[in-house]
Amino acid sequence: MSQTYTLVNPYNNEQIGEYEYTSWTQIEEKLALLKTGQKVQRKTAAYERANVLAKLAGLLKENAEKMARLITIETGKTISDSRVEMIRAVNATIASSEEARQISGESLDSDAYAPAGGKIGVVCWRPLGTIFCITPFNFPINIAMHKIGPAYAAGNAILFKPGPQNTATSQLLVELCYEAGMPESVLQFCMPPLADLDKLNAHPDVNAINFTGGTAAANAIAAAAGYKKLLLELGGNDPLIIMDDADLEAAATSAINHRFATAGQRCTAAKRLFVHASVYDQFRDILVAKSAALVIGDPMDDNTFVGPVIHMGAAKEIRQRIEGAIEDGATVALGNQYDGAFVHPTILENVRANSEVMIEETFGPVMPLFKFEDVEEIIPVINNTAYGLQAGIFSNNLSVIRYLFEELDVGTLATNEGPGFRTEHFPFGGVKESGVGREGIKYAIREMSYTKTLVI
């Protein structure tokens, strides 16, 4: 008897649909099919893969509004946010198409070290085989195309597992991939029950795993995967630093966009704000005024900025984190209001450096403010977390920017921009428990390939 799961709209709790999990027998059939697809990919020239991805980009653009509405129905993300996601998904697909033509190795003379002279090493990049691509709920199409696009461009076969909440959206994406020309033997959708995931991650026909999600799930993947290649894009507890020379209006707008958009459910959200004491009061007042004016409500309304979080359980967890900070001495400058799966944008002051809301990743619209006098004093506070994804700073002082760039344990520091800055062709990833490897189309292609050398 097949197992099923039911999805509801987080905004109004209306049922979206009932779906069947993929059985283990079906999983093995899909992996066997993908193994034949690896042979298909070997015979598919780079320009042909590029053309398929270019066609897919066009199909995604044609279906952008339909997919954006599906994303909003499934996740509660605002329709304006979902439309931006579709623009980025199209860009990621275009970039994958372009990079498919640019995969190149190098030639090396062997005489650099005696006595190995007289030979040339021709270094080529080759696909790993079948990539198991696992995506989260918050950017179901964009993140999927940051995995499927480069995996296909590199010549791999792909087993695609989205977050269960994104079933309808992801199934539509796979249909469009087929329409663009990806063979079914090269791309397969699956939704295994949780109990089968360890077995799937360990399966010998899975050659690599590309996962975006939480640290606990990543630990389980790593434990099961053994010697498989892993590309893990995990959580973040990203700081935004406001220096005394900052453009406060721009900084406040960026803080809101990088924290309260997507109801704060981004790994690169500005989860902690460090504000120089000389501008703290002024910045706080601007930030609170702008945040209080945000429209909270129906995510299908074009004017809504903050919709619900993904489900009631997530809202409860965020509330507990906020209440814990208040018990530790924090005060509420704005928010701390709840309505079902809605968490109103919340700004906290007087937050202790060792409070859970400062150390752990909070996946929701809560913004703790931390006042500082000297930039050196915030380095240990910022680095005192398991994560190290990205950071942002508002300042035009190059010496301060360079100092922070060297001292912060992060993968990227964005200047006069929030920590959520990302573009398709930049490397993306962090240090510590923020992940292993780098995404960004060109870099992801390398992660999902291996070098093979011919000595002549």
Residue 256 lies in a domain: yes
Quick one: CA dihedral 206, 266, 433, 425, positive or negative?
A: positive
- Strands 435-436 and 229-233, by their bridges, are antiparallel
Structure tokens at 145: 């195309």
Task: Give residue 1's pLDDT band: very low, low, confident or very high (50, 70, 90).
Answer: low
Same domain, yes or no: 185 and 318: no
pLDDT recorded at residue 426: 97
Question: Which of 117, 67, 81 has the alpha carbon at shortest distance from 308?
Answer: 81
What is the spatial distance between Cα 307 and Cα 291, in angstroms, rounded to a whole number? 14
Q: To the nearest whole percent, how much of the chain has pLDDT over 70? A: 100
Residue 429 lies in a domain: no
Give the list of residues 6+ apart from residue 4 with CB closer than 8 angstroms, or none.
18, 19, 20, 21
pLDDT 10s digits, 30-41: 999 999 999 999
Same domain, yes or no: 33 and 158: yes
Same domain, yes or no: 315 and 174: no
Q: Phi and psi for 373 in degrees, rounded to 5?
A: -100, -40
pLDDT 10s digits, 349-369: 999 999 999 999 999 999 999
Contact 397, 245 (CB under 8 A): yes
Task: Note if the bond before 115 is cis, omega within 30 degrees.
Answer: yes
Q: Phi and psi for 345 in degrees, rounded to 5?
A: -50, 125
Same domain, yes or no: 147 and 295: no
3-state secondary structure at position 132:
strand
Contact 265, 235 (CB under 8 A): no
pLDDT recorded at residue 60: 98
Burial of residue 300 (number of CB atoms within 10 Å: 0-12, 13-18, 19+) = middle
The yes-or-no verdict on residue 286 having pLDDT over 90 is: yes
What is the spatial distance between Cα 57 and Cα 145, in angstroms, rounded to a whole number? 10
Contact 342, 292 (CB under 8 A): no
Residue 428 lies in a domain: no
Q: To the nearest whole percent, how much of the chain has pLDDT over 90? A: 99
Q: What is the CATH number of the domain that holds 367?
A: 3.40.309.10
Task: Give residue 2's pLDDT band: very low, low, confident or very high (50, 70, 90).
Answer: confident
Same domain, yes or no: 220 and 263: no
Residue 289 lies in a domain: yes
Residue 218 lies in a domain: yes
pLDDT recorded at residue 138: 96
Residue 122: Cβ within 10 Å count:
13
Task: Name the residue range of residue 151's domain.
Answer: 4-234+434-455
Segment 242-265 shows an average pLDDT of: 98
Residue 369 lies in a domain: yes
Residue 99 lies in a domain: yes
Quick one: CA dihedral 296, 345, 290, 80, positive or negative?
A: negative
Contact 153, 127 (CB under 8 A): no
pLDDT 10s digits, 34-60: 999 999 999 999 999 999 999 999 999
pLDDT 10s digits, 291-338: 999 999 999 999 999 999 999 999 999 999 999 999 999 999 999 999
Helix axes 248-259, 280-292, angle to 10 degrees: 50
Same domain, yes or no: 10 and 43: yes
Same domain, yes or no: 17 and 32: yes
Residue 288: Cβ within 10 Å count:
18
The yes-or-no verdict on residue 222 having pLDDT over 90 is: yes
The yes-or-no verdict on residue 25 having pLDDT over 70 is: yes
Structure tokens at 70: 């599906």
Q: How does DSSP assign 349-367, residue by residue?
A: ES--TTSHHHHS---SSEE
What is the spatial distance between Cα 7 and Cα 75, in angstroms, rounded to a whole number? 10
Residues annotated as catalytic are 233
Tell me what the pLDDT averaged over the chain comes to. 97
Same domain, yes or no: 270 and 223: no
Question: Which of 211, 240, 235 has the alpha carbon at shortest distance from 223?
Answer: 211
What is the spatial distance between Cα 99 and Cα 11, in angstroms, rounded to a whole number? 39
Residue 398 lies in a domain: yes
Same domain, yes or no: 218 and 351: no
What is the number of domains present in the chain?
Answer: 2
Same domain, yes or no: 222 and 151: yes
Q: What is the CATH number of the domain that holds 63?
A: 3.40.605.10
Helices (H), 63-193: 64-75, 79-100, 142-153, 167-180
Contact 131, 37 (CB under 8 A): no
Segment 180-205 shows an average pLDDT of: 98
Same domain, yes or no: 272 and 224: no
pLDDT 10s digits, 444-453: 999 999 999 9
Buried b (16+ CB within 10 A) or exposed e, 308-344: bbbbeebbeebbebbeebbebebeebbbbeeeebbbb
Same domain, yes or no: 305 and 444: no
Name the one residue in this structure whose structure tokens are 């905004």: 11
Contact 223, 202 (CB under 8 A): no
